[in-house]
Amino acid sequence: MYLSKLSLFSFRNHTEKNISFSSGVTVIWGQNGSGKTSILEAITVLSMGKSFKTHKQKTIIKKGKNGFIVKGVFLSKNKKEQIAIQNTKQNKQLIKINGKTITNRKELIGKNNVVVLSPEDQKTTKGGPKERRLFFDRLFSVINIEYLNTLQRYNRILKQRNAWLSSFYKTKQNEVLENQWDKLLVDVGVKLWDLKNQHFFEFKKELVRVIKEYNDNINIDLFFSEDALTKEEFEKKTKKNIKRDIVLKRTTAGPHKDNINILLYDKDIRDVGSQGEHKIVLTLLKLTEMNIIKKKTGTQPTLLLDDLFSKLDLNKSKKLVAFLNKMESSLGEPIQTIITTTDLVNIKKSGLLLSDKKINTYKLETNCNTLLAQ
């Protein structure tokens, strides 16, 4: 499956825009603020029902308008699929697949996958534990519906338990209720840890392969700062923490507190990583994500590279292009790649335009909404 057509209405600075894509490489270029990242954001909305930039969908709606619409046509050898998503100012979301309204965003997830590499994503290596949990939760949800279901269930229980903790002094709830949330928290939490550990182990194995193939002498390791608890351990800890949880009005132990560390040459990358090292580690994590999605779902995700080549030095971007070319030849099919840049010189330097592949380039004009094919 690849994205063949994209239409945007009242999406950030775009009033109306229609873009056609090939199954190979498309470069979208234009000045700062011309709406390049917004186009990649719209493609992610089609894939996940959500933006990679914000969880406040309202802020995406073009100023002065009441809602945005994104439409996409996805093609494969023998299938055509149309997806349309509308979001209103009132936070109402309507999703249609081939004209039929779906009631749950989950039906969308895992269908037309994308892997995004954008400056915003640098939070994955530079940010706190929450950012890394988000990276792995998203990936594991895409490749395993059971993971997504378990995660959503766990988050619902957590919300209810926290609400109960908050109202403890007011309502003086009895112990029966306390035990009810705790039992659910432990049962679902342990299941989530179990699934997370399985996928995490696979991810680490794939990362080693990717590093080798990418041909970089870099030493990266990933690990949980604390091991997942067994059912008995989690039960004990929840009981032990209950007084503290009531005071703090939140649940202090469980998979929602997992901390995954990224080590670079045996040291936490957040303490030692240079800008370039952060970029390269993020790139390797994303390429691993791509391989895992391909392996698990059988379909190749679309790769969205936002402003990448201005962020990687020449040597690294050349390596990335070589890696993608190698991946394509082993797959025997193109990897749909959509790249944004402010200036085509960076792309030319990377060696991308020198290869024999046909590459489409589009220029986004800042003040008028026309897209000129180059």
Residue 276 touching ligand ATP (CB under 6 A) = no
CB distance 235 to 186 below 8 Å: yes
Among 37, 144, 283, 336, binds ligand ATP (CB under 6 A): 37
Residue 294 touching ligand ATP (CB under 6 A) = no
CB distance 278 to 286 below 8 Å: no
Residue 34 touching Mg ion (CB under 5 A) = no
Q: How far apart are CA 269 and CA 278, in angstroms?
A: 7
Residues 302-331 that bind ligand ATP (CB under 6 A): 307
CB atoms within 10 A of CB 7: 17
The window from 28-36, 106-114, 242-250, 320-328 that contacts Mg ion (CB under 5 A) reads 28-36
Cβ closest to ligand ATP, residue 219 vs residue 366: 366
Write down the least CB distance from residue 20 to ligand ATP, Å: 19
CB distance 263 to 125 below 8 Å: no
Cβ closest to ligand ATP, residue 152 vs residue 366: 366
Among 36, 50, 71, 294, binds ligand ATP (CB under 6 A): 36
Residue 57 touching ligand ATP (CB under 6 A) = no
- Binds 63: which of Mg ion, ligand ATP, none (CB < 5-8 Å by kind): ligand ATP
The owner of tokens 């023998």 is 78
- Relative to beta strand 359-364, strand 25-30 is parallel
Query: Which of 147, 58, 157 lies closest to 106, judged by CA?
Result: 147
Query: Which of 17, 6, 360, 363 lies closest to 372, judged by CA?
Result: 363
CB contact set of 284 (below 8 Å; sequence gap of 6+): 207, 210, 211, 214, 216, 218, 220
Q: Which helix (DSSP H) or strand (DSSP E) does residue 86 occupy? A: strand 79-88
The window from 36-44, 160-168, 197-205, 257-265 that contacts Mg ion (CB under 5 A) reads 36-44
The owner of tokens 């049962």 is 187
Write down the least CB distance from residue 343 to ligand ATP, Å: 10
Residue 56 touching ligand ATP (CB under 6 A) = no
Write down the least CB distance from residue 114 to ligand ATP, Å: 16
Residue 26 touching Mg ion (CB under 5 A) = no
The owner of tokens 């090939």 is 22
Write down the least CB distance from residue 128 to ligand ATP, Å: 24
Cβ closest to ligand ATP, residue 62 vs residue 294: 62
Count of residues making up the chain: 374
Q: Mark 59-98 with x for binding to ligand ATP (rule: CB under 6 A) and - for no binding.
A: xxxxx-----------------------------------
Residue 17 touching ligand ATP (CB under 6 A) = no
Q: How far apart are CA 38 and CA 231, in angstroms?
A: 44
Q: How far apart are CA 355 and CA 357, in angstroms?
A: 5
Among 241, 342, 360, 361, binds ligand ATP (CB under 6 A): 342
CB atoms within 10 A of CB 230: 11
CB contact set of 80 (below 8 Å; sequence gap of 6+): 73, 74
Residue 160 touching ligand ATP (CB under 6 A) = no
Binding site for Mg ion (CB under 5 A): 36-37
Binding site for ligand ATP (CB under 6 A): 12-13, 30, 32-38, 59-63, 307, 342
